[in-house]
Amino acid sequence: MATVTTHAPATFEEAAEALAGAAAEGRRVRIVGAGSKLHWGNPTDAASADLELRTTALNEIVEHNAGDLTATLQAGVSLADAQRTFAEVGQTLALDPPLVAIGSYPPPTIGGVVATGDSGPLRHRYGAPRDLVIGATVALSDGTIASSGGKVIKNVAGYDLAKLFSGSFGTLGLILSVSVRLHPLHDPSATAVGATDHVHTLARAAVALAAFPAELEALDIAWHGGRGGILARCGGREASRRAQRTAERMLELDLEGVDVAEPDEPLWERQRAGQRSPDEALLRVSVPPAQLAAVLLAADAADATVVGRAALGTSYLTLAPKAVADVRRRLPQGATSVVLDAPPGVELDRWGPVGEPALRLMRRVKQRFDPAGICNPGVFVGGI
Amino acid sequence: MASLPPQFLARLRHICGERFVLVNEQELATYRSDGLLHYREVPAAAVLPATAEEVREVVRACFAERVPWVARGAGTGLSGGALPVADGVLIALSRMRRILEIDLENGRVVVEPGVTNLAISKAVAPTHFYPPDPSSQIVCSIGGNIAENSGGAHCFKYGFTTNYVTGLEVVLSDGTVVELRRDDPGYDLLGAFVGSEGTLGVATRITLRVVPAPETVRTLVAFFTDTGAAGDAVSAIVDAGILPGAIEMMDSLSIEAAEQATGAGYRRDAGAALLIELDGPQERCLTGFEELVALCGEAGALDIRIAQSDEERELIWRTRKAAFASMGRIAPGYYVQDGVIPRTRLAEVLREIDALAGEYDMRVANVFHAGDGNLHPLVCYDSSQEGEAERAEELSGLIMKACVDAGGSITGEHGVGVDKKSYMPSMFSEKDLEAFQRLRCAFDPHGLANPGKVMPTPRLCGEVPGPYREHPLERAGVAERF
Ligand SMILES: Cc1cc2nc3c(=O)[nH]c(=O)nc-3n(C[C@H](O)[C@H](O)[C@H](O)COP(=O)(O)OP(=O)(O)OC[C@H]3O[C@@H](n4cnc5c(N)ncnc54)[C@H](O)[C@@H]3O)c2cc1C
């Protein structure tokens, strides 16, 4: 059996050389940040990688341009560390996937968050990594170091390769650094909450609140065993008054136990925690937001726990691995679902079906960027 | 003007109908240029397909004969992106103007590419709106917006076209139709397509996110002695954490031109005007607006006028929107630049532009999106004066370079097209450009879609080098299930 060597390059050039060297020898490379999501994507057996490239030594916050609300971060910077730096001047990278270690998983690097397209409740207002990354520098398997985008928040020169690499699971090359757009920290915050034990009441409330012009920072649902609720977060100086008004709207929507939580951070910590499942399977489901009821009914049938983005139609279901197939059958037509967490050794179709013409195009993209086929082989859709 | 084989033209006529295939020079004249009139080329033929199927069949016919083609929306582009190729086909999408679905429960609309930008906001009003709002919104097409990743006054707060496209049906240059959806697993090919300037395929069906209309809108215009003071006000506002729906700046020359056109009452003795609009929930707008007024005062505003009615708001905006078109009143011709700078470098770069204008003895007006640092210097010239157009172009190039040197970009929303392609190497290395080319080759290996745009020099794709290793999953046939 081949032995896996580990290497943590300290410069961009070293990283690019390591990739090129591996390509020349036909060695397969596994790209690793903090290692918090290595089990996402198609499982690969130990023999499928010959070299592990870690970004942990590329851990410099290269620039933080507070006045311009932008920053450039090397891939190995821990997202939590970056947030601390930004918070010192009242700013934030509006990207809030789970940061604290859950189970045995270490907190993520910015490179890993971008490469997996991970996000949290703030996606409601600020989007996913692809919406916040304004430039990227990458290393390709032929030793190329290439940049796209830039360091300004508005820029249309050249193709947007930063988006292509966001969510590419390291299969196109290694992200060396990213430039990101920052936002003012919206302190303080207040959250209106309402509960119900009717699927359709919750689904209706979700649609109505998505159209409520309160400029919410986040709009989430939580659901388990036939009961759940909705959480609407307001940020900024008048947060409490806006949350109060949102709560009044919740009463009109037949929600119970309506209240305004202040401080509200623990509520959101719980929502984020619902996006990880150390012991069971975690299924991320996407549907048009008005089809939330169908997702919740499917979840109930499988005794799944749900957290989700009400206005975006994205839900995270924690459930027994053996229930995944059944939930997928019950989802409305056109839904997509991806298995993220899963216990080791469990066989599951991670990515679900992907349309053939799109998949062929993705294969061509892979071939152009990683002609040697050595970057994280096999982990992605269609076995890319 | 080149000509195409008769059988090929017959095929196009069979697909689109006799009337919708244009080959004589007179009929083709409309399509010679986009909004940049000094680039001209007559295509060998223009077709006006009515449906996505017709587009697909046209593209297939072109592929079979290896005929290059250029998609065209409303032709308002400002980078020569829709400039035809002489031996190719121009595919005009202006007949594809149907709004196919309005689904406000899910906050989305589905449209054909020829629908105008404004028609979308109108279709979802009054409860919703579509935020990216180029000043050309009355005429420009959503297909063109997608190709350019267009911006507008409201983008600093709300984001750009790319943040609102959730689904595309695209015809690739070999005639394959692909569905790209934002939440589908796999590479973000949707994100790569938006802003690709018609070089990766034709978008034939577009799904967009629309958002709830703001509850309150408050608008003011503040006048300053110079652009430096106005720039300070912008910084103070952003630093205070206020996120206006729009912050637009005009300098004295553009105020002068726009006032001549609209007579809206902007102060002609001011060195700069800032148009600021705050929108959102009542509570936020009220406190924010008071603070805004105070910050403008502290930055030395000479005068602040607050719109007291919809009519007054309309008037304030009319002057800003007239700025481009009215330049004709003070100069026979002008070049529009689209450089971006980090906002904190604003004062410095504007001074540099002034100095350059002085050196060239030419006038440069500035009217721009101040929040995101996207300048629109308008370099005025008179082409009846020998050599002036050339000198204006040279000056434009130096302004672009000043933007790049300040850490910015050569284009914020108009695109590279043919106009700025020779400046791409000032921003990107040869390796960067090669990486762009990899994407282009994956989508369009024969280079048939809008050739000669974006990249500074023509490039061929070649075969994929090296072995592509099949993953065990693919070999095992697992991929077949997908
Ligand atoms: C007065 C004026 C003001 C302007 N203000 C702004 C502004 O504020 N912000 C801004 O961003 N721009 C602005 N523009 C520029 C221009 O309006 C935009 O770039 C617009 O998006 C172009 O749309 P169009 O339909 O006219 O596209 P065209 O000019 O016809 O084409 C532009 C590009 O899109 C491609 N294309 C068109 N349709 C498709 C399709 N369906 N699929 C694939 N590719 C396609 C073409 O090949 C070409 O490369 C302005 C222009 C003018 C004249």
Q: Domains plus CATH for chain A?
A: 1-185+354-384 (3.30.465.10), 189-341 (3.40.462.20)
What confidence score (pLDDT) does residue B252 get? 94
Pocket test for ligand 1, best of B150, B155, B178 (most atoms within 8 A of CB): B150
For ligand 1, say whether the CB of B33 is within 6 Å of any of its atoms: no
Identify the bridge partners of residue B91 per DSSP, sorted by sequence position: B47, B71
Contact predicate A161/A138, CB 8 Å:
yes
- Test A146 with B435 for CB contact under 8 angstroms: yes
Structure tokens at A339: 């298995």
Task: Give the Å distance between the CA of B137 and the centre of ligand 1.
Answer: 10
Give the pLDDT score at A2.
55
Ligand 1 binding pocket includes B203 (Cβ within 6 Å): yes
Structural domains of chain B ordered from first start? 6-92 (3.30.43.10), 99-212 (3.30.465.10), 216-325 (3.30.70.2190), 331-423 (3.30.70.2740)
With the most atoms of ligand 1 within 8 angstroms of its CB, the residue from B32, B37, B76 to mutate is B76
Nearest neighbour of B284 by CB, restricted to A65, A146, A238: A238
- Alpha-carbon gap, residue A332 to A292, rounded angstroms: 10
- Measured between alpha carbons, how far is A59 from A38 in angstroms, rounded to an integer? 19
Name the closest residue on chain B to residue A240, using Cα atoms. B283
pLDDT of residue B327: 82
Sheet holding A5-7, edge to edge: A5-7, A51-54, A29-32
Q: Which chain A positions have a beta carbon within 8 Å of B408's beta carbon?
A: 150-152, 155
Cβ neighbours for A319, distance < 8 A, ≥ 6 positions apart: A280, A281, A283, A299, A302, A303, A304, A305, A327
Q: Give nearest CA residue, ligand 1 atom 34.
A: B144
* ipTM, 2 dp: 0.96
**This prediction's pTM:** 0.96
B81 within ligand 1 shell (Cβ under 6 A): yes
| C-alpha closest to that of B452 among B17, B86, B27 | B86
Contact A382 B482 (CB under 8 A): yes
- Is any ligand 1 atom within 6 A of the Cβ of residue B74? yes
Residue B59 host element (H or E)? helix B52-65
- The string over B177-190, giving b where at least 16 C-beta atoms fall within 10 Å of a residue's C-beta and e elsewhere, is bbebbbbbbbbbbb
Share of chain A above pLDDT 70, in %: 97
DSSP string, A61-77: EEEEEGGGTEEEEETTS
* Cα distance between the two ends of chain B: 47
pLDDT band at A103, cuts 50/70/90? low
- Hey, are the CB atoms on B191 and A338 less than 8 Å from each other? no
Q: What is the mean pLDDT of chain A?
A: 95
Indicate whether residue B412 lines ligand 1 (CB < 6 A).
no
pLDDT at residue number B383: 87
Q: Which of A347, A111, A43, A173 has the alpha carbon at shortest distance from B439?
A: A173
Tens digits of per-residue pLDDT, A17-42? Answer: 999 999 999 999 999 999 889 889 99
Angle between helices B252-262 and B310-326 (to 10 degrees): 110
For range A284-302, the mean pLDDT: 97
DSSP strand pairing (B211-212 vs A51-54): unpaired
B367 CB within 6 A, ligand 1: no
DSSP for A166-180, written as a single string: TTSTTSS-EEEEEEE
**Pocket lining: B92 vs ligand 1, CB cutoff 6 Å:** no
Is it the case that residue A47 has pLDDT exceeding 70? no
CA-nearest residue, atom 5 of ligand 1: B135
Q: Tell me what the mean pLDDT of segment A281-289 comes to.
A: 97
Flag residues of chain B having pLDDT under 50.
467-482
How far is it, in rounded angstroms, from Cα A269 to Cα A125?
17
Chain B residues with CB inside 8 Å of A69's CB? 238
Q: Write down the pLDDT at residue B256.
A: 92
Q: Of A383, A379, A343, A348, give the one whose Cα is nearest residue A363.
A: A383
Asked if pLDDT for residue A46 goes beyond 70, the answer is: no
For the beta carbon of residue B86, count every other beta carbon within 10 angstroms.
11
Tell me how far apart the alpha carbons of residues B393 and B230 are, in angstroms, rounded to a whole number: 28
Residue of chain B whose Cα is closest to the Cα of A375? B469
The pLDDT tens digits of the residues spanning A238-248 come to: 899 999 999 99
pLDDT of residue B323: 83
List, for residues A140-157, the tens digit of each pLDDT value: 999 999 999 999 999 999
Pocket test for ligand 1, best of B140, B189, B249 (most atoms within 8 A of CB): B140
Residue among B179, B475, B192 nearest A360 (CA): B179
The protein residue whose alpha carbon is closest to atom 44 in ligand 1 is B198
pLDDT of residue B333: 87
Integer Cα distance of A284 and A359 in angstroms = 20
A242 contacts in B (CB within 8 Å)?
281, 283-284
Give long-range contacts, CB 8 A cutoff, 24+ apart: B309-316.
Answer: B312/B219, B313/B217, B313/B219, B315/B262, B315/B264, B315/B265, B316/B219, B316/B220, B316/B221, B316/B264, B316/B275
Given B424, B468, B471, which is nearest A158 (Cβ)? B424
pLDDT per position as a tens digit, A316-341: 999 999 999 999 999 999 999 999 99
